[in-house]
Structure 1
Amino acid sequence: MTKRKKAIDPAVRVEDLRELIRRYEHAYYVLDQPEVSDSEYDTLFLELRRIEEERPDLVSSDSPTQRVSGEASDQFAKVRHRSPMLSLQNAFDEAEIRAFDKRVRGAVGDKVVYCAELKIDGLAISLTYGKGRLQRAATRGDGTIGEDVTANVRTIRSVPLAVSPAKGLPDVFEVRGEVYFPIAGFERLNREMEAAGKARFVNPRNTAAGSVRQIDPNVTAGRDLQTFMYTLDPGGPARSQWDVLNTLDSMGFRVNKNRRRLDSIDEVIDYHAEWQRRRHELEYEIDGMVVKVDGFAQQLELGFVARSPRWAIAFKYAPEQAETVVEEIACYVGRTGVLTPVAHVKPVIVGGVTIRNVTMHNEAQVNEKGVYVGARVVIHRAGDVIPEIVSVKKPKPGWKMPTRCPVCGGEVVREEPYIAHRCINPFCGAQRLERLRHFAAVMDIEGLGYATLTQLIDRGVVEDPSDLYRMSKDQVIQLEGFADRSAQNLVDRIAASRQPDLWRFLFALGIPQVGEATAQLLAADFSSIDPLRAAT
């Protein structure tokens, strides 16, 4: 007689699933140490969502499925912070930070320890928890009154919906920090905007702020925002800023690991200089360092002036700029046919990097800034990463996109309401090359760069991605730069990409309007290619 499988109580199963999913989300979004594959996570998430749909009585507000409520709001309610969210005074050079140190020591004596944290270029946010559950998220606003953005902030995966409060905290407490847009995610979003023929976003900081204030929480959820938290109000068991950061970390919040306790202002200056050199290693933008007197007793003694604490200061980095001349404005064709104007400038060093090309994105931006051949322009690196023309000495609008594609000679049109100009020739060689390069990059096929793909296209070996999987070692070995072993390695790497995750495959195809985030949503909903085909 076959033994019957014991039925699992749905109420027990949903709690088990929530605990597992929270653990995996914390490992992935907070610790940056994934414990399971995307497909395993998706399977658990879909099981939880199915049970909750069948048993609505089991749904709880802190369930991982409830991050996106799907409910649009036509306004953001005004909310009062538990205590004011203060602004910081700034120091821009060594003399000013030493003056700050002198004021501190003059008030509390020479025995001072500083806590130094990287200053994230993002949006200040306040999270209110009641009995361990997220009750409200609010923007800084004017420091006293902010806007309620709870529905949107709930969608940010590194924000815990429920925590185990540290011993000594009251039932209701606030956690404060910064919401920011990782550089890689920001650049990915702009590629998607360009592919859709829409204007690019200007910088990660403004885009993060706009993402948090979206009417539709689903838009925020698709933006892949991140957080760093640094304030606990009240401090509970903490007796210093260093204690606060460790307490937040132990409660499951995302806390920046790049922090240090320093015993002198000389150490502060050295640490500041270290990160000025290393800031390009980070996956987010910083615009300086926040320096705080570490001990709460000394903070209390120092007090406040106007709306700023006397015990903290922002030690900022001055943006580096340089002047040069525009030598040419050339247009490059992307995989969707969008033409992007690029200003070729006389080489100039900005922030230790030689700049020769500055992307202008579209005709409207060129003319808004008044850029033209021969113009003297001031360049800086946005976020100290992306070269940008910030001003033109004698601006002159009137530059026009070419009416013919610079690669294939096909017709170039602007399709309303989009801002981009597009080559509408489906056989354009530039588009084919960019589509293949996009496919190879998304599928993580190492060795399929522009030089190799150009040779394959010129020899008639490859026209679309499917041709890559029919390519033989003998065909590869005939290419310049390949020998027997390297040819076999490339063929093997292509073969290894034959069974990708569904989202990766959809994204790699370069379908208009289907970027990485949309591809992941489709994959989560349809699970495999067959239901997706049936839906279309």
Structure 2
Amino acid sequence: MADIHEENTYFCLKQSEIMTAKERIEQLRAELHRHNHNYYVSNSPEVSDLEFDKMLKELQELEDQYPEYYDENSPTMRVGSDINKNFTQVAHKYPMLSLGNTYSESEVTDFYERVRKSLNEDFEICCEIKYDGTSISLTYIDGKLVRAVTRGDGEKGDDVTDNVKTIKTIPLVLHGNDYPQEFEIRGEILMPWSVFEELNQEKEAREEPLFANPRNAASGTLKLQNSSVVASRKLDAYLYYLLGDKLPCDGHFENLQVAQKWGFKISDAVRKCKTLQEVFDFINYWDVERKNLPVACDGIVLKVNSLRHQNTLGYTAKSPRWAIAYKFQAEQALTRLNQVTYQVGRTGAVTPVANLDPVQLSGTIVKRASLHNADIIEGLDLHIGDMVYVEKGGEIIPKITGVDIKSRFMIGDKVEFISNCPECGSNLVRYEGEAAHYCPNENACPPQIKGKIEHFISRKAMNIDGLGPETVDLFYNQGLISNPADLYDLTADQIKGLERMGEKSAENIIASLQASKEVPFERVIFALGIRFVGATVAKKIAKAFASIEELEQATLETLVQVDEIGEKIGQSIVNYFADEKNILLVNRLKEVGLQFTRSEEHEQVSDKLNGLSIVISGVFVHHSRDEYKSMIEQNGGKNVGSISSKTSFILAGDNIGPSKLEKATKLGIRIISEEEFLKLIL
């Protein structure tokens, strides 16, 4: 066996075989590249930070041990990237490096001792909460915010200035006058727990994939093209590091106190420590107290306080030697798996749910946890009666992360994903490239029928007051409705005697149904519940097709020519209108008077702006911003929320944003006034 090891053979404890060091290195690189993409680009991580860091650390150790397998593109050579090609990239004046992670007090002690030996003089450690959001760098000149850039790949990032300006806790103009003429301040953009929960509830109701945690939600929000949507998400921000040539103090802690006076939101949970014990006291306090914070926190950051000391300690290729992050362990509980049940959603997607012995986790009692899909179940090798480890993904969504194999003594049946729909008995199908199983019986499976009706009446669709899931369930069970068109056959006399339904409630529902006949074409398209057709795509469809008849006759080739419609959405639309039951539903909805043609305000009156992407900024005199947006669409143009090299021109009113003006000048983008625009479309 000694000879085998001398031939660079590596034993991987998680594998059932012995593999060479080179094979393990290549395996780790492939996995980490995939996880990097999921984390930074797709915003859908599959593993925890701890699991990722363990793999990265193992790879680093192997690369150090076997330098002959050096690869300049190894995941150890990068800090990840969240760059989005839809935004302009800006080089960082000071690189935004990542911090080294630790998970134990012994590693914190090692860091402290390295600093002590390197400095050989007294030093202080500034302890801060490690907020779990998305990093941002803000540049101020003459007391005004001029640029906001994401971390990106550490060397350059995306310019998201317009979106950041919607965050009310970030000052656009500073207080006082004692700030440097130009400086940079870095921090974390965060989505509060309350906003995150509300957003996920909305996504769940639409059967869309949920955000895994507030960090992903904040990151995804910051990259939206529509800054008004960003504003509606109520993002927050904490700032934690000041950079520049003429900073007020040598102490990092002291600079933060000054920055707070300038108007920046600086956390109150910052402490300057003189001893290692004080550092541990801070860590232990916040390991418990973090659960009471309004935003996500996943650890503590330790920084050598003196900037002079920071310069002495310097940097490695990827991180500063004067700072480190201590990551909290995710709170975990062990409980028994009693049963796996299955839920069917509006689209027919079947979701397995683990039913557990009640257990307290992160301040709440957990009885159920999603198992997501068949692949997750198979990977966990679950058996009924297993003792399972449960964590809260992002401290919110319960998930099973493992099985305590040692506790297996009376093993129950192995959990096998079902092959038939639990509601209607139909054989389930799994489409190529998808993880979920679906019930194809969409017109006779009760949860799908009720789900489609609930979608139809929702606020962004037909917006029918007085109806909700409980009412839909009641009407369905009474045999009054089996599809959305049946709603318009209801009478007040039919429903006023039902449970929880008085005469006034019945009259309000009927009145609301009557009012919904004025809902515009694009919202009616959305209300139909065509798979993959969300509210935005429905608007694009209504712009491209003047009537439902045109849409019914559209070929896949025609559909994919429409902005934001690819082959997947196009094929779904074709399939929808190929089903005779759907044509019958649409015809019934036509007969009751729903809007199945584009209204005049949405008609394209000319093609004078065809192919042009236009940004609107400022305050206008002759028309409102919404009116100008309609004019742009009516003349074939496209409204966009942020400036890029693809922007055709800016329609500018008074008080155009200075960052937009600066960016337009830099990119050579034309700026036209209201009067010029109105002449252009005449």
Alignment-derived partner of residue 418 in structure 2: 402
TM-fit CA distance, 1:303: 5.5
SS in 2 for 1:412: coil
TM-fit CA distance, 1:390: 1.2
- Distance change in 2, residues 1:424/1:80 (3 Å): same
- Given that residues 445 and 493 in structure 1 are in contact (C-alpha distance below 8 angstroms), is that contact kept between their aligned partners in structure 2? yes
Question: What do residues 58-93 of structure 1 show as CA deviations (whole Å, max 9, x unaligned)?
Answer: xxxxxxxxxxxx9669xx989454266574887999
Alignment-derived partner of residue 491 in structure 2: 472
- Given that residues 288 and 314 in structure 1 are in contact (C-alpha distance below 8 angstroms), is that contact kept between their aligned partners in structure 2? yes
Write the distance in 1 (CA, Å) between the matches of 2:424 and 2:310.
67
TM-score by structure 2 length? 0.49
- Given that residues 442 and 504 in structure 1 are in contact (C-alpha distance below 8 angstroms), is that contact kept between their aligned partners in structure 2? no
Question: What do residues 442-500 of structure 1 show as CA deviations (whole Å, max 9, x unaligned)?
Answer: 35667644433222012222233454455333333322233445555655666776766
Alignment-derived partner of residue 158 in structure 1: 166
Answering whether residue 387 of structure 2 is matched by residue 376 of structure 1, we say yes
- Given that residues 526 and 538 in structure 2 are in contact (C-alpha distance below 8 angstroms), is that contact kept between their aligned partners in structure 1? yes
Write the distance in 1 (CA, Å) between the matches of 2:122 and 2:465.
60
- Distance change in 2, residues 1:154/1:509 (3 Å): farther
Write the distance in 1 (CA, Å) between the matches of 2:363 and 2:416.
33
Alignment-derived partner of residue 418 in structure 1: 434
TM-fit CA distance, 1:335: 0.5
TM-fit CA distance, 1:355: 1.7
Write the distance in 1 (CA, Å) between the matches of 2:499 and 2:435.
40
Alignment-derived partner of residue 262 in structure 2: 247
Answering whether residue 183 of structure 2 is matched by residue 173 of structure 1, we say yes
Question: What do residues 387-437 of structure 1 show as CA deviations (whole Å, max 9, x unaligned)?
Answer: 111112349998554332221223321122322221111312110112223
1:278 alignment partner, one of 292, 297, 319: 292
What letter matches 2:196 in structure 1? I
Alignment-derived partner of residue 358 in structure 1: 369
Alignment-derived partner of residue 183 in structure 1: 196
Question: What do residues 504-532 of structure 1 show as CA deviations (whole Å, max 9, x unaligned)?
Answer: 66655433213356567778999997448
What letter matches 2:259 in structure 1? V
Structure 1 stretch displaced more, 345-354 or 425-434:
345-354
Write the distance in 2 (CA, Å) between the matches of 1:525 and 1:119.
48
SS in 1 for 2:155: strand
Question: What do residues 328-356 of structure 1 show as CA deviations (whole Å, max 9, x unaligned)?
Answer: 22221110111111122222222232222
1:337 alignment partner, one of 333, 348, 368: 348
What letter matches 1:369 in structure 2? L
Write the distance in 2 (CA, Å) between the matches of 1:186 and 1:474.
38
1:139 alignment partner, one of 138, 151, 154: 151
What letter matches 2:166 in structure 1? S
Alignment-derived partner of residue 12 in structure 1: none
1:433 alignment partner, one of 450, 454, 476: 450
Question: What do residues 133-161 of structure 1 show as CA deviations (whole Å, max 9, x unaligned)?
Answer: 756724165xxx434333x6766663799
Write the distance in 1 (CA, Å) between the matches of 2:284 and 2:488.
53
What letter matches 1:404 in structure 2? N
What letter matches 1:481 in structure 2? R
- Given that residues 229 and 248 in structure 1 are in contact (C-alpha distance below 8 angstroms), is that contact kept between their aligned partners in structure 2? no
Write the distance in 2 (CA, Å) between the matches of 1:500 and 1:259.
49
Write the distance in 1 (CA, Å) between the matches of 2:185 and 2:104.
28
What letter matches 1:228 in structure 2? A
Write the distance in 1 (CA, Å) between the matches of 2:326 and 2:515.
49
TM-fit CA distance, 1:202: 4.5
Alignment-derived partner of residue 149 in structure 1: 158
Write the distance in 2 (CA, Å) between the matches of 1:135 and 1:526.
40
Answering whether residue 94 of structure 2 is matched by residue 82 of structure 1, we say yes
- Distance change in 2, residues 1:165/1:529 (3 Å): farther
Q: Percent identity?
A: 26
SS in 1 for 2:136: strand
Write the distance in 2 (CA, Å) between the matches of 1:476 and 1:233.
67
SS in 1 for 2:429: strand
Write the distance in 2 (CA, Å) between the matches of 1:370 and 1:430.
29
2:336 alignment partner, one of 325, 331, 355: 325
- Distance change in 2, residues 1:158/1:333 (3 Å): same
Alignment-derived partner of residue 388 in structure 1: 399
Alignment-derived partner of residue 41 in structure 1: none
- Given that residues 303 and 322 in structure 2 are in contact (C-alpha distance below 8 angstroms), is that contact kept between their aligned partners in structure 1? yes
Q: What does residue range 100-115 of structure 1 map to in structure 2 within 5 Å?
A: none
1:205 alignment partner, one of 200, 215, 226: 215
Structure 2 stretches lacking a partner, 5+ long: 1-83, 547-594, 605-682
Q: How many residues are aligned here?
A: 430
SS in 2 for 1:409: coil
Alignment-derived partner of residue 456 in structure 1: 475
Q: Which has the higher contact order (CA 8 A, sep 6+)?
A: 1
Answering whether residue 144 of structure 2 is matched by residue 125 of structure 1, we say no
TM-fit CA distance, 1:207: 6.7
Question: What do residues 177-207 of structure 1 show as CA deviations (whole Å, max 9, x unaligned)?
Answer: 2245662586379659965xxx776445357
Write the distance in 2 (CA, Å) between the matches of 1:341 and 1:137.
41
What letter matches 1:456 in structure 2? F
What letter matches 1:510 in structure 2? G
Question: What do residues 190-232 of structure 1 show as CA deviations (whole Å, max 9, x unaligned)?
Answer: 659965xxx77644535766888x9xx8699999794625144
Write the distance in 1 (CA, Å) between the matches of 2:206 and 2:375.
15
- Given that residues 192 and 513 in structure 1 are in contact (C-alpha distance below 8 angstroms), is that contact kept between their aligned partners in structure 2? no
- Given that residues 138 and 146 in structure 1 are in contact (C-alpha distance below 8 angstroms), is that contact kept between their aligned partners in structure 2? no
Write the distance in 1 (CA, Å) between the matches of 2:301 and 2:213.
21
- Given that residues 156 and 225 in structure 1 are in contact (C-alpha distance below 8 angstroms), is that contact kept between their aligned partners in structure 2? no
Alignment-derived partner of residue 512 in structure 1: 531
Question: What do residues 251-307 of structure 1 show as CA deviations (whole Å, max 9, x unaligned)?
Answer: xxxx58x7578999999899958964534xx4x5333577999xxxx7558868676
Q: What does residue range 228-239 of structure 1 map to in structure 2 within 5 Å?
A: 228-230=237-239, 231-234=241-244
SS in 2 for 1:379: strand
Write the distance in 2 (CA, Å) between the matches of 1:372 and 1:185.
34
- Given that residues 476 and 482 in structure 1 are in contact (C-alpha distance below 8 angstroms), is that contact kept between their aligned partners in structure 2? yes
What letter matches 2:481 in structure 1? V
Q: Over aligned residue pairs, what C-alpha RMSD do you find?
A: 5.6
Structure 1 stretch displaced more, 262-271 or 490-499:
262-271
- Given that residues 242 and 255 in structure 2 are in contact (C-alpha distance below 8 angstroms), is that contact kept between their aligned partners in structure 1? no
- Given that residues 330 and 344 in structure 1 are in contact (C-alpha distance below 8 angstroms), is that contact kept between their aligned partners in structure 2? yes
- Given that residues 91 and 157 in structure 2 are in contact (C-alpha distance below 8 angstroms), is that contact kept between their aligned partners in structure 1? yes
- Given that residues 303 and 324 in structure 2 are in contact (C-alpha distance below 8 angstroms), is that contact kept between their aligned partners in structure 1? yes
What letter matches 2:357 in structure 1? K
Q: What does residue range 212-223 of structure 1 map to in structure 2 within 5 Å?
A: none
Structure showing greater radius of gyration is 2
What letter matches 1:451 in structure 2? E
- Distance change in 2, residues 1:374/1:88 (3 Å): same
